[in-house]
Structure 1
Amino acid sequence: MFEEQWTFEALREWGDWQLEPYLQDTTERLAQLDYLLTGMMDWDYGQLRNNLNTVIEDEKRLRFMVAVRAIKGGVPVQYALGHAPFYGREFNVDRRVLIPRPETEELVDWVLKDQATTDLKVLDIGTGSGAIAVTLASERPNWQVLASDISKDALAVAEMNAKQFSASVTFLASDLFDQINGTFDVIVSNPPYISEQERAVMDESVLGFEPDLALFADDNGLAIYKRLLIELLAHLNPKGSAYFEIGYLQGPTLLALFGALPGVTVALRQDMSGHDRMLKVSRV
């Protein structure tokens, strides 16, 4: 395919040259290239360093070049690669779903550490790529996990991820609780919570490629929470808990809103950066 063989180091240098006009920060540029190479080869960064002088196969070289050209066009590196890490697994992602974030890993970690490992019924609302639901089902195979989303395109990606990891998850097309029957021990959701006012300060790669439906909500980003609040107790078992990812400025407001529900306790938790990021609502 190519007349001249290239090593991984040569390909990395080519990628750096290609991206330099578009990404001025050298550290960020090389980080994206290394992320792309390690993800493409299923290596860790140590393996990449040890193989910089290894000749890359033509097929991998072509795939890398196509991905770099996509990144030049503003495509997030995770979409260019086709998958993104989440809780130790690589989830398929494309423009139909949000790219999983580290903050959501913290939400999942809270659920796993907080809940007994006995049989539980779990609902993930707005599953997107399925990162939350598939991770919970994989880490706790005895849990009965239902995942819903308003987007059938997103559900197609989530189902692909569940199949990839042999995770037992049931998927359902639903606008929040609209098609949900029954009650659950655990409800978890990372809903759209960004206000329209924040659009002006957001990264172009997010605005241009990630789905608006999964990002933005009316009423200063609170609209979806207010809808969830109305039906939450009808679907949450006694002694059950609901876990939500929230915007970093929404903690006090959501604490008050959910705290006004009868017979519940509400707790905020900060992310690794010290920002309010998670909310737990428990029936007493």
Structure 2
Amino acid sequence: MVTIKNALDEGIKLLKEYKAGTESIGFDNYALDANVLLCHILKKDKAYLIAHRDDEIPRDIYNEFLSLIKRRCAGEPVAYIINKKEFWDLTFYVDSRVLIPRPDTEVLVEYIIDNYKDKAVKILDIGTGSGAIAVTLKKHIKNARVFALDVSGEALDVARKNARLCGVEITFFQLDILKEDLPDTYDIIVSNPPYIESRNIPRLIQDVRDFEPEIALDGGEDGLKFYRRIVDVSQTHLKDGGLLAFEVGFNQAEAVLSLMEGFYDKKTLKDLSGISRVVLGKKCPNQGNF
């Protein structure tokens, strides 16, 4: 007989054993991972697991749980295993075609919602990936018209799916921002672009390096390639007084601020760890005309 408690104990044990044999795997909350995976299979919440810890589970369910634990031991992120990630107050579908939404990005989204929720604004999300930023902004800024682009057609398929799941209308289009021009002007341009320096990609934890799409991570030689280009196109495609809002990597805030010539009210916002993760600025008049 295998109970819920037995299954969780075995899952935690396997995760700990695997972690002990490697230094590159990016997890250490074994109980959380095991609980999330078992909840996913049983289609129950954590409260159910606690209340029914001595209940027996079918052998096939137990074996399926162990197969998911093995995938986690191999480094695959939990979000990809269960095809789900919470972001802000929404649940997003995710798979290996897109970067997994991070809590850090909520700082960026929160600022825009707090300052524009009652305004009729036209928003462009560059490098939308899963659509987490675009979908969340549209969900909470009712009068916004939201547009979102990505170079990856596969990522756009995921983003469109998330827009449908969350019940919002967004205009998605495929475009290589490094090579192509934007089609219109906007009140807000927002982006969480690739910002890892190319030489650091092999040094990323296994969860990220081996499973998340490199195209969504690699920011070029100095990690600033996309910021330079987006600042440049914003000169002609952001309306006067319009907001340019970036998420940035660790220790990149000052470098990105220095790129934003022709912008005023420039500032940074910190995440819960006290790290500057968001860079903001408004476009000065006469910096370019579309």
Scaled by the length of structure 1, the TM-score of the pair is 0.89
Structure 2 partner of 1:161: 162
Aligned partners of 1:239 and 1:41: how far apart in 2? 51
Following superposition, the deviation at residue 9 of structure 1 comes to 1.5
Partners of 2:121 and 2:188 within 8 A in 1: yes
In structure 2, relative to structure 1, the CA distance for the partners of 1:172 and 1:58 (3 Å cut) is farther
Aligned partners of 2:139 and 2:63: how far apart in 1? 34
Say whether 1:137 aligns with 2:138. Answer: yes
Structure 1 partner of 2:189: 187
- 3-state SS of paired residue (2:29): helix
Following superposition, the deviation at residue 239 of structure 1 comes to 2.1
Partners of 1:129 and 1:158 within 8 A in 2: yes
In structure 2, relative to structure 1, the CA distance for the partners of 1:163 and 1:232 (3 Å cut) is same
Q: Which amino acid letter does the alignment assign opposite residue 264 of structure 1?
A: Y
Structure 1 partner of 2:250: 248
Partners of 2:264 and 2:281 within 8 A in 1: yes
- 3-state SS of paired residue (2:207): helix
Structure 2 partner of 1:199: 201
Partners of 1:141 and 1:168 within 8 A in 2: no
Partners of 1:122 and 1:144 within 8 A in 2: yes
Structure 2 partner of 1:72: 73
Aligned partners of 1:47 and 1:106: how far apart in 2? 32
After superposition, give the CA deviation of every residue in 1:199-233 in whole Å (9 maximum; x if it has no partner): 35420111001011000111310011111111112
Q: How does 1:108-127 map to 2 (within 5 A)?
A: 108-127=109-128
Say whether 1:214 aligns with 2:210. Answer: no
After superposition, give the CA deviation of every residue in 1:42-75 in whole Å (9 maximum; x if it has no partner): 6554443223234446675454333212112221
Unaligned runs of 5+ in 2: 22-26, 285-290
In structure 2, relative to structure 1, the CA distance for the partners of 1:8 and 1:179 (3 Å cut) is farther
- 3-state SS of paired residue (1:192): coil
Q: Which amino acid letter does the alignment assign opposite residue 53 of structure 2?
A: L
Q: How does 1:1-284 map to 2 (within 5 A)?
A: 6-24=2-20, 28-40=29-41, 44-56=45-57, 61=62, 63-176=64-177, 178=180, 180-258=182-260, 260-261=261-262, 264-284=264-284
Structure 1 partner of 2:24: none
How many residue pairs get aligned? The number is: 278
Percentage identity across paired residues of the two chains: 33
Unaligned runs of 5+ in 1: none
Partners of 1:122 and 1:185 within 8 A in 2: yes
Aligned partners of 1:129 and 1:179: how far apart in 2? 22
Aligned partners of 2:182 and 2:152: how far apart in 1? 15
After superposition, give the CA deviation of every residue in 1:158-202 in whole Å (9 maximum; x if it has no partner): 111111111111110011273631111111110000112323542
Aligned partners of 2:41 and 2:92: how far apart in 1? 13
In structure 2, relative to structure 1, the CA distance for the partners of 1:199 and 1:144 (3 Å cut) is same
Aligned partners of 1:165 and 1:41: how far apart in 2? 24
Q: Which amino acid letter does the alignment assign opposite residue 277 of structure 2?
A: R
Aligned partners of 2:41 and 2:243: how far apart in 1? 39
Aligned partners of 2:279 and 2:144: how far apart in 1? 22
Aligned partners of 2:169 and 2:163: how far apart in 1? 7
Aligned partners of 1:39 and 1:141: how far apart in 2? 32
In structure 2, relative to structure 1, the CA distance for the partners of 1:63 and 1:90 (3 Å cut) is farther
Q: Which amino acid letter does the alignment assign opposite residue 212 of structure 2?
A: E
Scaled by the length of structure 2, the TM-score of the pair is 0.87
Partners of 2:202 and 2:209 within 8 A in 1: no
Following superposition, the deviation at residue 151 of structure 1 comes to 0.3
Partners of 2:117 and 2:142 within 8 A in 1: no
Following superposition, the deviation at residue 27 of structure 1 comes to 5.6
